[in-house]
Amino acid sequence: MNMKDRAPREVAVPVSVFGSLRAQLEKEAGTLPTVHALHHAGYQAGVDVSGSLMASGVTDVANLGQDEFWATVTGFLAKRGWGTLRLDPAHAGVGILTSSDWAEASEGEIDPDASCHFSTGFLSGLLSELAGGPVAVLEVDCRTRGGASCRFAFGSEGAIHQLYGRLLEGADLDAALSAL
């Protein structure tokens, strides 16, 4: 049995670890290195946790219908304390995952610079592994930044890059998606 055939070892930690890690990394390394470090660590964790999903009895995720696939993935994450996610189809090439209780968002904290950097990497790694190819993820709204929910856009690297560029130019999400 190789490593891909069994679930990785997992531990449970309080969600406060995300805020603590972000704060300490920013203090030690600065904002951009913190974003990169958390994203990369999250990506690897997402790749690894795909093994836990497969070990939970889902043997062939690629052959599930869309509704069953998303019910399986979101149910798996909710059971592990990440929060509830719902799929909001936004565009033919971009989906949106929305959560009003996502674990990485700091409860009651409003910070214009904070967001779910680990989670974007985590979701990208998990979805890439399940899809068998790259899936890019961009957080487009965050409860820590004052939003009602955390929202993650996902799709091909090209589509997410274009979406990000339009958002940086000042377009709102709906206009940016319409322009794709």
- Residue 59 is predicted with a pLDDT of 63
Q: Which CATH number fits domain 14-178: 3.30.1380.20, 2.60.40.10, 1.10.760.10, 3.40.50.1000?
A: 3.30.1380.20
Q: Which of 19-28, 58-67, 79-88, 166-175 shows the lowest per-residue confidence on average (mean pLDDT)?
A: 58-67
pLDDT of residue 159: 95
Residue with tokens 């090209």: 158
Q: Tell me the one-letter amino acid at 153.
A: A
Give the least confident one: 57-66, 130-139, 143-152.
57-66
At residue 5, does pLDDT exceed 60? no
Q: To the nearest whole number, what is the mean pLDDT of the chain?
A: 89
pLDDT (tens digit per residue) in 106-146: 767 777 776 899 999 999 999 999 999 999 999 999 998 88
Amino acid identity of residue 99, one-letter, is S
Model confidence at 56, in pLDDT bands (50, 70, 90)?
Answer: confident
Q: Indicate whether 4 pLDDT > 70.
A: no
Q: If we measure between CA atoms, which residue out of 164, 116, 156, 165 comes closest to residue 136?
A: 156
Domain range summary for the chain, segments of one domain joined by +? 14-178
- Region 151-170: what's the mean pLDDT? 95
Three-class DSSP labels, the chain: CCHHHCCCCCCCCCCHHHHHHHHHHHHHHCHHHHHHHHHHHHHHHHHHHHHHHHHCCCCCHHHCCHHHHHHHHHHHHHHCCCCCCEEEEEECCEEEEEECCCCCCCCCCCCCCCCCHHHHHHHHHHHHHHHCCCCEEEEEECHHHCCCCEEEEEECHHHHHHHHHHHHCCCCHHHHHHCC
| pLDDT score for 1 | 36
